[in-house]
Amino acid sequence: MAEDAVVTALDGSAAFLMMDDILERLKMLDYELAFRGFTRLTHTYFAMPAPNPNEQFHYFMALCSWLMGLLGSAWQAPSQSDDPNLAAQSLHSQLQQVGAPLSFGGWQKLKQGHGEPCCVILQWLLQQIPIEFKPALHAEEAEYEDAAVAEDEADGAHDMADEARKEQPDQARAVHNKSSPPHRLATPRTRRRNTTTVVVTRRDLRLAGRAS
């Protein structure tokens, strides 16, 4: 009995791990668009019994039908009013034709609509569908390019500011030079020369008058 409990726990944990991968792959295929009338899947939906077993079984059948259709193998999913035994047998037969792994046992395992056998089938079908992953390097490169452009613009702004600061003192000196008269126009030395010349000239005149 203890060994059976351990096996059950391991099976349960495997189903939960597979369900994470199943849900992520379904999201990449935009499954919500094809299953708008269904309950939104969670990371544990097919790993454990749901409150409504009939709805869970029908959801599992519908997903298998949709995924096999994407693989080019048409299989019509049964309705909720169909016999679950016949539906599980039909699915099991179709899975044999497409080469799905059925080592978990007979069709009775699929009739549950949850657990590891159902997760194995869903994961295998999803793995057969080629999904193109867009590398994240493009987004990172775009961020690097934007950062480089922003850095160049910042450097350009700093250079313009430095040039403006350098030009301001030169402009101030130029304005000061224009407003100030040249020092050669009037200097004390020149005035003394003019004054001395005038005095000497008057003295000469007086001396010349006395002499006359």
What is the residue extent of each domain of the chain?
Answer: 2-127
Q: What is the pLDDT of residue 3?
A: 33
Phi/psi at 153 (5° precision) = -65, -40
Handedness of CA 52, 96, 107, 123 (dihedral sign): negative
Q: What is the pLDDT of residue 81?
A: 85
* Average pLDDT of the residues in 92-113: 90
In this predicted model, which residue has the larger pLDDT, 198 or 167? 167
Q: Is the pLDDT of residue 160 over 60?
A: yes
For the record, the structure tokens of 156 come out as: 């350009």
CA distances, 46 to each of 64, 80, 123, 126 (Å)? 13, 17, 11, 15
Q: Is the pLDDT of residue 202 over 90?
A: no
Note whether 22 and 122 are within 8 A (CB): yes
DSSP alpha helices (H): ranges in the chain? 2-28, 31-34, 53-70, 84-98, 108-111, 116-127, 137-179, 188-211
CA distances, 55 to each of 9, 20, 52, 72 (Å)? 25, 20, 5, 26
* Average pLDDT of the residues in 203-208: 51
Provide the mean pLDDT of the chain: 75
Taking the CA atoms of residue 79, residue 85, residue 88 and residue 89 in that order, the dihedral angle to the nearest 10 degrees is: -120
pTM of the model: 0.58
Note whether 100 and 107 are within 8 A (CB): no
Work out the angle at residue 115's Cα, subtended by the Cα atoms of residues 72 and 128, and round it to the nearest 5 degrees. Answer: 25
Between CA 16 and CA 138 the distance in angstroms is 32
Note whether 12 and 47 are within 8 A (CB): yes
Confidence of residue 154 (pLDDT cuts 50, 70, 90): low
